Amino acid sequence: MSQFLITGQTKLKGELPVNGAKNCALKIAAASLLSAEPMTISNFPEIEDTERLLEILRDLGCKCIRQKPHDYKIIPPQRIKKDLNHDLVRKLRASILLVGPMLARFGKVSMAHPGGCLIGKRPIDLFITSFKALGAKVTTTATCNIFTAPLGLTGCRIVFPKISVTATETLMLAATLAKGKTTLVNAACEPEIPALAEYLNRMGAKINGAGTPNIEIIGVKKIAGGHFENIPDRIEAGSFIILAAATKSHLKITHCNPEHLEIPLNILKDLGVKLKVGKDYIEVFPTAKLKAAQIATHEYPGFPTDIQAPMTVLLTQATGESIMRENIFEGRLIYTDILNRMGANIKLDNPQQISINGPTPLHAKEVESPDIRAGIAILIAALLAKGKTTINNIYQIDRGYERIEERLAAIGVQIKRV
Ligand code: EPZ
């Protein structure tokens, strides 16, 4: 298993360009199955998760061609294999996005139970209930779920009891080719959703209200294939802004969309972080003293759960007692043990809340990367720590951050992949 070796406390300066959004690229690639025509995608991040999805699409019979770096063409097959590769599905929970288009277009798909991960059990009850509401039959065996809709899907009103990003996206994809109207109530509002809907509408779909809690989809017979320019990754941008603030560096985070980070940026300013916000960049200036804060994760446009771990690292350097409350996932605070081993002073008040007392100097340790976002958080902690930190299991970081050691080395980080 490869590792990162990082020497902390080096001076960092320069520009950090942000990649295309992982959590948009995965959805748009899944949407390629809705059409019989090819689709091209630019600003496509080349990371483990997107590679896994392309592997699944190839396994189904799609041609996925890398035309040039970050630029892909996906040619869907006329006839498609109906089973999603079980081993690959276990590596990528987002594979569930494929069930919507495959059910709507081909009438059948079987999918292994998606692996849970460290941040929670990740159930798919919202998907199963919603597909049944659209007229699909779902058979659950010990190893997989088989979804069938031989007569196609019929639109209806779907009220989500919980806000789910991929359930909103997957059902929006399925409803695009269903008969009649589908209304999604209590839908997620993440920016990746209107980006997906805008593309589908350009290809002939009829979707209104994406980006709001109420989305209305009028089913169409088919949609065309076309080009999608991926949006910037707001979570990568947020991770890098926090990296700059935590290391008290002057860094410019470029190729991002600050509008997607309004609440996190306001929270950082309240902490005392000095920022200059441009149209497609955010410049961070060294801040001597950070104030403690009380932060709670929330669905968009609230504070994103995906930057909860990096923000916790920043709060270890804030003066006083901070509170971080994780409201989205039941298991997304366990990485804090690793930070405490590095010298942080974090207490678990209850499974959903921690208190962080700072500032605490951090020191190098041999640690592991539990999941994507805790992984980047631990990498940021290693940049603050005195000495050389070893991070194991860096596949988790590579799942969401492309060539991260090259991009960090370019701003002065001493990091080696071994
Ligand atoms: C998406 O996951 C993102 N992944 C996650 O990012 C992100 O953390 C999450 O949304 C929340 O913003 C992608 O877009 C590929 P949810 P998703 O369904 O859709 C519960 C990253 O690091 N739930 O919005 O899987 C669920 O357990 C990843 O990039 C059910 O109960 O998350 C959670 O508590 C991590 N039943 C809550 O809803 C269901 O059927 C929100 O999860 C589905 C979800």
* pLDDT tens-digit series, residues 130-151: 999 999 999 999 999 999 999 9
Ligand 1 centre to CA of 117 (Å) is 11
pLDDT value of position 115: 66
Query: In 263-287, which positions are buried (b, 16+ CB within 10 angstroms) versus exposed (e)?
Result: ebbebbeebebebeeeeebbbbeeb
pTM (predicted TM-score): 0.97
Distance CA 150, CA 136 (A): 8
Closest-CA residue, ligand 1 atom 35, reads 306
Pocket test for ligand 1, best of 166, 297, 298, 299 (most atoms within 8 A of CB): 166
Angle at 381 between CA 166 and CA 351, to 5 degrees: 55
pLDDT value of position 121: 78
Q: Is 189 a catalytic residue?
A: no
| Residue type, position 228, single letter | F
Ligand 1 centre to CA of 233 (Å) is 16
pLDDT in tens, the chain (418 residues): 899 999 999 999 999 999 999 999 999 999 999 999 999 999 999 999 999 999 999 999 999 999 999 999 999 998 888 899 999 998 899 999 999 999 999 999 999 988 656 788 788 999 999 999 999 999 999 999 999 999 999 999 999 999 999 999 999 999 999 999 999 999 999 999 999 999 999 999 999 999 999 999 999 999 999 999 999 999 999 999 999 999 999 999 999 999 999 999 999 999 999 999 999 999 999 998 999 999 999 999 999 999 999 999 999 999 999 999 999 999 999 999 999 999 999 999 999 999 999 999 999 999 999 999 999 999 999 999 999 999 999 999 999 999 999 999 999 999 999 9
- In 3D space, the residue among 276, 252, 104 whose CA is nearest the CA of residue 176 turns out to be 104
CA-based R_g, the chain, Å: 21
Pocket test for ligand 1, best of 52, 96, 122, 402 (most atoms within 8 A of CB): 122
Which distant-in-sequence residues (6+ apart) come within 8 Å of 277 by Cβ? 258, 265, 283
Ligand 1 atom with minimal separation from the 169 CA: 19
Strand partners, 72: 41, 66
Closest-CA residue, ligand 1 atom 30, reads 123
Distance CA 92, CA 285 (A): 37
Angle at 355 between CA 315 and CA 303, to 5 degrees: 60
